[in-house]
Structure 1
């Protein structure tokens, strides 16, 4: 679980609830016309921009990666791959079958080495999986950014519609309040959807896109070096290049 994402959304929700409930009527912030303007506009624009299958893939990637994704960091991978190299050198491929790792990509690589697959096959398979995963994340980034960019724009559309309706009914003061509510709440809904939900998720996916690609490349290099029979110390030294220089001494001590 990504507790940063969960904590961020919880804090955002608590902030909104405090502001809405503080000396005010929370029901006054609910307006179906403003909601329809934002929801309908965002859904329509997203459907025009992307194929339906791409939208489903992107939305799913955002939910999975933002809330439940876990990938080992470079420091952890240096230690883990060093331990794998030691087991492989002492016990051979069969020794890897009993090893358990949390990282799914590393676990898949371990199974290939344990099953005795050819090094070139392992490289091709893992690189293909890495590239396809990066493609899914890119789709997710585009979809959530599209929604985040479109929501404030449709909020402005709702504001303009509410203002036009308000000016068209200046002779009836009883209608000015509802139309003004539409104008203001449409902008509020659009801003909340974009800045509290969609754009943060898009930024989180962009982070994972770079981080996972680096981690998976590191795993590929380490697993192939282990497959070639490189010594554990050589594997660790080779993988040190993926770790920031100030942290390399700590990583070696932990290994």
Structure 2
């Protein structure tokens, strides 16, 4: 689990809730018509902007990538591909048939090599896979940025609705309070959804896309080098470009 995402959501929400309860009741900030305007309106606008399948897949991808952190450490990938290179130098490409890896992209790369496809074909297939993966992240990021743009606007729309209702019923003092609640709380809901949820999730998706692209590029570079018969130690030196400078000494120590 990506503990940072969970801590961020819990701490951000808790601070807002504590601020509310410090001066009033939490129930004072719950208004069903206001929630309906912001949440329902935002989802409606999101479905207008994007395909239903894109929205659903983006929600699923956001959950998997922001709460279930499956991004591998580049150092671990370098260790695996160095082992691959050693096997190929000793037993040839077919020696990889019994080599077990968990990374699905690396596993696909190995299968393409074992099947005997030309290096140019293998590279083309893997690059296409990278492009499709990045595109999925980009769509998911756009969905959440779209939500972040829409929610505050729907909050303002709810504010206008509440003000109109209040002004139309000034002769009835009992209606002023509920109308003002809708007017003010919808703006609050819109800002909360945008600032605490949608924008942070969009930024996290962007970061995850960068990590995924780095790891997949590392694998493609590794497969290209392995197919050329490059020495595992030389391969390690090439792959240090994908590791933060402060960790590059660890690549050497693992040799």
Q: Secondary structure of the residue that 1:171 maps to in structure 2? A: coil
Counterpart residue number, 1:101: 101
Provide the C-alpha distance between the structure 1 equivalents of 2:222 and 2:250, rounded to a whole number of angstroms: 19
Moved more, 179-188 or 75-84: 75-84
Counterpart residue number, 1:228: 228
Per the normalisation by structure 1, the TM-score is 0.90
Provide the C-alpha distance between the structure 2 equivalents of 1:246 and 1:59, rounded to a whole number of angstroms: 35
Equivalent runs, 1:140-179 vs 2, <5 Å: 140-179=140-179
Per the normalisation by structure 2, the TM-score is 0.90
Q: Secondary structure of the residue that 1:170 maps to in structure 2? A: coil
Provide the C-alpha distance between the structure 1 equivalents of 2:3 and 2:245, rounded to a whole number of angstroms: 28
Moved more, 16-25 or 134-143: 16-25
Moved more, 171-180 or 124-133: 171-180
Q: Secondary structure of the residue that 2:229 maps to in structure 1? A: coil
Quick check: 2:141–2:203 contact (8 Å CA) kept in 1?
yes
> Runs of 5+ in structure 1 lacking a partner?
none
Provide the C-alpha distance between the structure 2 equivalents of 1:20 and 1:114, rounded to a whole number of angstroms: 61
The superposition leaves residues 15-65 of structure 1 with CA deviations (integer Å, 9 ceiling, x where unpaired) of 344344446322222211101110222122212222333323333322222
Q: Secondary structure of the residue that 1:72 maps to in structure 2? A: coil
Alignment of 1:39 with 2:28, yes or no, is: no
Counterpart residue number, 1:120: 120
Moved more, 16-25 or 75-84: 16-25
The superposition leaves residues 115-162 of structure 1 with CA deviations (integer Å, 9 ceiling, x where unpaired) of 433322221211111111111111111111000111011111111221
The superposition leaves residues 191-247 of structure 1 with CA deviations (integer Å, 9 ceiling, x where unpaired) of 111111111111111112222112211110101211221110111111122223343
Q: 1:100 to 1:10 in 2, by over 3 A?
A: farther
Quick check: 1:119–1:224 contact (8 Å CA) kept in 2?
yes
Counterpart residue number, 2:197: 197
Provide the C-alpha distance between the structure 2 equivalents of 1:67 and 1:128, rounded to a whole number of angstroms: 27
Counterpart residue number, 2:183: 183
Quick check: 2:236–2:251 contact (8 Å CA) kept in 1?
no
Provide the C-alpha distance between the structure 2 equivalents of 1:223 and 1:69, rounded to a whole number of angstroms: 25
Quick check: 1:94–1:114 contact (8 Å CA) kept in 2?
yes
Counterpart residue number, 1:52: 52
Q: CA deviation at 1:69?
A: 4.3
Provide the C-alpha distance between the structure 2 equivalents of 1:83 and 1:20, rounded to a whole number of angstroms: 56
Number of residue pairs matched?
A: 255
RMSD over equivalenced CA pairs, Å: 2.1
> Runs of 5+ in structure 2 lacking a partner?
none
Counterpart residue number, 2:253: 253
